[in-house]
Amino acid sequence: MLVLFLLLAVTAAAVVDVDVTEPACPSCVLMNTTCYNISYLFDLNAPFRKQVVIHRMGILRSQNKLFFSFEPTIEDVEYYKTGFVSLDDPSQAGVISGSQIFNFGAFDIDQDNDLVYFGGDGGIFILNANSNSIAAYSSLGDTVTNLYYKNHVYFVRYNDRGIIEKVGDNFRTLMENFPIRKFVVTKKDNVVIFSSTLGLFVGKGENVHRISKNGYFRGITIDLDGNVYAWWIDGIYKVVLMKNLQHSKLVRVAKIPFIGAMTFDNDNRILFTSDKSLYLMEPTANSCGVVKVIEDRA
Ligand SMILES: *[C@@H]1O[C@H](CO)[C@@H](O)[C@H](O)[C@H]1NC(C)=O
Ligand SMILES: *[C@@H]1O[C@H](CO)[C@@H](O)[C@H](O)[C@H]1NC(C)=O
């Protein structure tokens, strides 16, 4: 039932209709102007370290399978591992392992061909998700700390500067003056969004612009519509890209004080971890307890 209160301001002659009937939603959070409901899905199951650290999540869309890289128990000779779980049936889960020490902490997915690229101590490896076989791919002998896939592989090496783009048998370095932590490349315009010790940047060619001085963003991800988000311990930030990159900016769109890793599911809803728990964040008709000014005829 909708009850409208008419509030007559004494000084100004403003008439404001306010909807106050909405039930409280303790699990809701406002993201920019949309209210999202957060619900718990399940716990990720892997040999986590005492303090759970999950660096990255990504979904193999054809199988609705979530991959996540994490830091395993201190006794493990590897310091990074990648696990996976079916979002349709969480009992189908496991950890990528082999006879070698891979230290697979970086990965990304070629969705068109069901291939998962992994970066680690021994270079870049490739998992065929249909045959479940892993093979060596490139840069064997390099330590690959980050990897991104868009038409081809982009990667970052330990103690190196720039992002290496592998086009066929050729390699080209982007953002070559910057030590790179995390990065993505936009689908349409090839804009690189990256974090380094000096902050968060947007760049294309020689044109690089800093949008934040915070060098500690935990990750950067792109939703199914091409919107770019970064997250830090205190919430979700949207990278607002402008045609003139110098006008691009970073806006915090949601305050969530416990995000570990984040990605978007096949319906473009937000999935995030807190400790080892996986949560779903989806838009709701609830107004998030914000008093909605329906009309203001001041
Ligand atoms: C927030 O929402 C408003 C209204 O829909 C929109 O104009 C604005 O671009 C949004 N801001 C961000 C950072 O997405
Ligand atoms: C939020 O999600 C929970 C769990 O799925 C559900 O019980 C609740 O009704 C939802 N609330 C809103 C306002 O959508």
Ligand 2 atom closest to Cα of 286? Answer: 13
Q: What is the mean pLDDT of the chain?
A: 90
Question: Which of 18-32, 203-217, 223-237 is predicted least confidently?
Answer: 18-32
Can you give the pLDDT at residue 20?
A: 53
Ligand 1 atom 4 nearest Cα: 33
Can you give the pLDDT at residue 185?
A: 98
Answer for the pair 164, 155: CB distance below 8 angstroms, yes or no: yes
Coil, strand or helix: which one is 247?
helix
Can you give the pLDDT at residue 100?
A: 83
Mapping DSSP onto H, E and C, the string for 49-102 reads CCCCCEEEEEEECCCCEEEEEECECCCCCCCCEEEEEECCCCCCEEECCCCCCC
Listed in sequence order, the residues at least 6 apart from 216 whose beta carbon sits closer than 8 Å to its beta carbon are 195, 232
Q: Is 99 in the pocket of ligand 1 (CB under 6 A)?
A: no
Checking if the pLDDT of 151 tops 70, the result is: yes
Coil, strand or helix: which one is 112?
coil
Distances in Å between the alpha carbon of 90 and those of 64, 73, 138, 227, 279?
A: 11, 22, 32, 28, 13
Question: Which of 14-18, 127-131, 197-201, 210-214 is predicted least confidently?
Answer: 14-18
State the average pLDDT over residues 218-245. 96
Ligand 1 atom closest to Cα of 238? Answer: 13
Give every strand in the sheet of 4-8, ordered side by side: 4-8, 15-19, 292-296
pLDDT, tens digit (0-9, with 9 covering 90-100), for 11-37: 344 444 555 556 678 899 999 989 999
Coil, strand or helix: which one is 286?
coil
Listed in sequence order, the residues at least 6 apart from 205 whose beta carbon sits closer than 8 Å to its beta carbon are none
Ligand 2 atom closest to Cα of 25? Answer: 13
Rounded CA separation 221/229 (Å): 5
- Proximal ligand: closest to the CA of 236: 1
Can you give the pLDDT at residue 99?
A: 76
Can you give the pLDDT at residue 17?
A: 52
- Proximal ligand: closest to the CA of 33: 1
Residues above pLDDT 90, as percent of the chain: 81
With bands split at pLDDT 50, 70 and 90, how would you rate the model's confidence at 9?
very low
Listed in sequence order, the residues at least 6 apart from 280 whose beta carbon sits closer than 8 Å to its beta carbon are 38, 39, 41, 265, 269, 270, 271
State the average pLDDT over residues 117-136. 94
Question: Which of 13-22, 42-51, 133-142 is predicted least confidently?
Answer: 13-22
Tokens of 214: 């915070």
Listed in sequence order, the residues at least 6 apart from 89 whose beta carbon sits closer than 8 Å to its beta carbon are none
- Proximal ligand: closest to the CA of 27: 2
Q: How many CA within 13 A on the CB side of residue 271?
A: 25
State the average pLDDT over residues 223-243. 96
State the average pLDDT over residues 222-251. 96
Q: Which residues line ligand 2 (CB under 6 A)?
A: 25, 27-28, 37, 39, 284, 286
* Count of Cβ atoms closer than 10 Å to residue 284 Cβ: 15
Can you give the pLDDT at residue 38?
A: 96
pTM beyond 0.85: yes
Nearest to 209 by CA among 253, 236, 178, 188: 178
More confident residue, 9 or 260: 260
pLDDT, tens digit (0-9, with 9 covering 90-100), for 54-109: 999 999 999 999 999 999 999 999 999 999 999 999 999 999 987 788 999 999 99
Rounded CA separation 127/68 (Å): 14
Can you give the pLDDT at residue 25?
A: 87
Q: Is 51 in the pocket of ligand 1 (CB under 6 A)?
A: no
CA torsion, ordered 137, 141, 147, 150, to nearest 10 deg: -40
Buried b (16+ CB within 10 A) or exposed e, 118-135: bbbbbbbbbbebeeeebe
Ligand 2 atom 11 nearest Cα: 37
